[in-house]
Amino acid sequence: SGDPIENASVRMAGIGEFNTDNDGKVRFQIPEDPFMKISVSVRKKGYIDTDFTLELKAGTIFLNRFSISPSIPLDHIRVVLDWGKKPNDLDAHFVKMNSYHISYRNMKQDADGVAMLDRDDTNGYGPETLTVTKIDSNKEYDYFIHDYSNGNIKNSDRLSKSNAEVKVFGRGKLLYHFKIPQNKKGNTWKVFKMLNSKIVPVNVIDSM
């Protein structure tokens, strides 16, 4: 939903343990190592346990908003996109080959909600979220991000500078955490495929 999560437990290896405040924030002192990789664990009743790595770059956290997901059935998948202030509008796309294409243009597939774009964000930061309740093991799926704000500029590096991250939740945990490649040109981030019900990382920037 993008709403702050209060009183979540946040453990940061080598830093300390914290509880989020009313705004969903924790505050801590930046470590001396300006390129430190910090293991982070987030726990909150009613939400999926989330473990990821926070990477400092020159002593700076470029993306300081992190989304976690409410609990979902173990056989469902939820994909969450976060990014920075710019570009204003990044769009998530989920394609079942030769079947359907979920995006802001078609936010739900079938009345039973096999796949649904839960939240479309058009003013920066995200989250933009998609939930899939049924995967056909005999079909191929693609998940990619399109820079709608700069969609006509195929050699733009603005998507690469968005600090976008994608989290894939399923089986009661964070399965994958993708970070957008840096210093690349293109308006489309091809994040992953699904083959035989398994996620296959792609993680390249291209143009369409």
Residue type, 54: L
Chain centroid to Cα 75, Å, comes to 19
| Among 45, 107, 40, 42, residue whose Cα is nearest residue 70 | 45
pTM over the 0.75 mark: yes
**pLDDT tens, position by position, 67-97:** 999 999 999 999 999 999 899 999 999 999 9
Q: Are 51 and 41 in contact (CB under 8 A)?
A: yes
Neighbours of 189 (CB within 10 A): 27
Cα gap 157→198, rounded to integer Å? 30
- Residue carrying the six token digits 């933009």: 128
- pLDDT tens-digit readout, 156-166: 899 999 999 99
Say how many Å lie between the first and final Cα of the chain, rounded.
29
* 123-173 pLDDT per residue, tens: 888 899 999 999 888 999 999 999 999 877 778 899 999 999 999 999 999
Spatial separation of the C-alpha atoms in residues 93 and 142, rounded to whole Å:
8
Q: Cite the beta strand spans of 37-112 per DSSP E.
A: 37-43, 50-55, 77-82, 90-96, 100-102, 108-109
